[in-house]
């Protein structure tokens, strides 16, 4: 990894209304919001944030009620991705250099037996029902399904060259894998774990996101400076949507109306109106926007600017950027507590996590973690 003179360019991840289910380095995640009809007196359970430290080969648990880090949990070599089950009982960590996935029981923070997968696992997604994890193995050109009830890996599924990102439709019927080296996306039928015909997209397809109604998949084409919409009913690609230079991550609002694309090379965010697949005027943010996440209510997009060492909040109702928030060096990841009250920003080169009170956009005291914090999940 490089220092601050250059932006760290990790794997690109998914961000949508179901982003908590799909996490890989260099993107976004948030936990589901509280039920809209919950009574005011209903106690809110304590949550734990889990941060993967890519250089220390550890995971740091953080009690979100006090922002206190716990004892680091030793995992495999070069942890590269992390997911949490919908029940919140287990966190899974993909270890790129040891070709394993490690389950961690959140009740005790004890790691279980490593699960052997393909070569260089770099991205994972968990189905909405929590029954299966799909692991993209970048150097094997395969995806390994893992049954969470037994933590047993299934038969590898062959996909395209250099699978980079992976996501699942909210209805759980299809997993999509972007193949960085083949300029394609492979759909996988989750009922049979059968890959379908690859879908041709633009050059260097990376991050993806699916609309909440499961009808449209959006694929970022980094070298084509475009986004390809794909109708999931037929797996037919639509007309590419032009965006900025080096589109990096994508977030879709919970109401399914707007997609936001961070443009790493343009220092902008492009809003896309989903009903018409048209791009709006670019929104100017800080330098090197490589992380982004929407609050659970969808009202604000937080953009992590790696070079500026800031976060830019954008009001989605107006697409107006707010006052920048100072964070650490090289913001790589943003996650929210289930209520959206606090955002957590992983600062790769500061070895810290910055909590932000979203009501006031005030940063708190940085939380010291291991070396190279690169991704966060928060238990529901």
**Bigger pLDDT: 339 or 33?**
339
**How far apart are the C-alpha atoms of 240 and 236, rounded to whole Å?**
12
Residue of 106, 83, 107 lying closest to 94 (CA atoms): 83
pLDDT number for residue 12: 46
At 326, list the tokens: 């100072």
Q: Identify the structural domains of the chain with CATH numbers, from first to last.
A: 19-32+47-378 (2.130.10.10)
Q: Chain centroid to CA 302: how far? A: 13
pLDDT number for residue 46: 73
**How far apart are the C-alpha atoms of 346 and 333, rounded to whole Å?**
5
Q: How do beta strands 331-336 and 342-347 pair?
A: antiparallel
User: How many other C-beta atoms are found inside a 10 Å radius of the C-beta of residue 44?
Assistant: 12
Concatenate the DSSP letters of all residues of 87-146 into one string: TSSEEEEEETTTTEEEEEETTTTEE---EE-SSSEEEEEE-TTSSEEEEEETTTTEEEEE
Concatenate the DSSP letters of all residues of 208-261 into one string: EEE-TTS-EEEEEETTTTEEEEEETTTTEE-PPEE--SSEEEEEE-TTSSEEEE
- DSSP H or E segment with residue 302: strand 300-305
Torsion (CA) 65, 301, 241, 332 in degrees, nearest 10: -50
pLDDT tens digits, 252-290: 999 999 999 999 999 999 999 999 999 999 999 999 999
Give the residue-averaged pLDDT of 32-49.
Answer: 47
309 Cβ partners below 8 Å, 6+ apart?
4, 326, 327, 328, 329, 330, 331, 347
Separation in Å, CA 124 to CA 24, 25, 82, 86: 6, 10, 7, 14
45 — pLDDT class (breaks 50, 70, 90): low
pLDDT tens digits, 345-378: 999 999 999 999 999 999 999 999 999 999 999 9
At 67, list the tokens: 């922002």
Give the residue-averaged pLDDT of 29-51.
Answer: 50
**How far apart are the C-alpha atoms of 91 and 68, rounded to whole Å?**
19
pLDDT tens digits, 194-226: 999 999 999 999 999 999 999 999 999 999 999
- Which residues pair with residue 132 across a beta bridge? 147
pLDDT tens digits, 317-354: 999 999 999 999 999 999 999 999 999 999 999 999 99
Q: What is the DSSP letter of 33?
A: P
236 Cβ partners below 8 Å, 6+ apart?
199, 230
27 pLDDT exceeds 90?
Answer: no
**How far apart are the C-alpha atoms of 10 and 285, rounded to whole Å?**
20
340 and 356 Cβ atoms separated by less than 8 Å = no
Residue of 341, 244, 246, 250 lying closest to 291 (CA atoms): 250
Q: What is the DSSP letter of 64?
A: T
pLDDT tens digits, 139-158: 999 999 999 999 999 999 99
**How far apart are the C-alpha atoms of 259 and 170, rounded to whole Å?**
16
């Amino acid at each position: 990894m490089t220092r601050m003179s250059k932006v760290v360019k990790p794997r690109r991840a998914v961000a949508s209304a179901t982003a908590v289910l799909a996490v890989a380095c260099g993107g976004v995640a948030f936990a589901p919001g509280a039920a809209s009809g919950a009574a005011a007196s209903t106690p809110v359970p304590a949550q734990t944030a889990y941060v993967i430290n890519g250089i220390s080969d550890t995971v740091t648990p953080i009690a979100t009620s006090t922002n206190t880090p716990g004892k680091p949990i030793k995992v495999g070599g070069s942890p590269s991705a992390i997911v949490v089950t919908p029940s919140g009982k287990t966190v899974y960590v993909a270890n790129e250099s040891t070709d394993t996935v490690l389950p961690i029981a959140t009740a005790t923070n004890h790691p279980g037996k490593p699960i052997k997968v393909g070569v260089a696992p770099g991205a994972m997604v968990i189905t909405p029902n929590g029954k299966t994890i799909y692991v993209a193995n970048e150097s094997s050109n395969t995806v390994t399904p893992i049954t969470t009830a037994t933590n047993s890996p299934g038969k590898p599924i062959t996909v395209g060259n250099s699978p980079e990102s992976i996501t699942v439709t909210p209805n759980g019927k299809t997993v999509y894998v972007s193949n960085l080296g083949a300029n394609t996306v492979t759909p996988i039928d989750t009922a049979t774990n059968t890959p379908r015909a690859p879908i041709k997209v633009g050059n260097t397809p990376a991050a993806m996101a699916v609309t909440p109604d499961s009808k449209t998949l959006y694929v970022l084409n980094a070298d084509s400076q475009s986004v390809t919409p794909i109708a999931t009913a037929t797996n037919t690609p639509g007309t590419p949507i032009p965006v900025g230079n080096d589109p990096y991550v994508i977030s879709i609002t919970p109401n399914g109306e707007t997609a936001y694309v961070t443009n790493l090379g343009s220092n902008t965010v492009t809003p896309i109106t989903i009903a018409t697949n048209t791009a709006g005027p670019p929104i100017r943010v800080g330098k090197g926007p490589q992380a982004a996440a929407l609050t659970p209510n969808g009202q604000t997009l937080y953009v992590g600017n790696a070079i500026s060492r800031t976060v830019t909040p954008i009001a989605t109702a107006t697409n107006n950027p707010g006052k920048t928030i100072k964070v650490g060096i090289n913001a790589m990841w943003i996650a929210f507590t289930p209520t959206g009250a606090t955002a957590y920003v992983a600062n790769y080169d500061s070895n810290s996590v910055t909590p932000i009170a979203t009501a006031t956009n005030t940063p708190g005291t940085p939380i010291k973690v291991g070396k190279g914090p690169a991704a966060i999940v928060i238990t529901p």
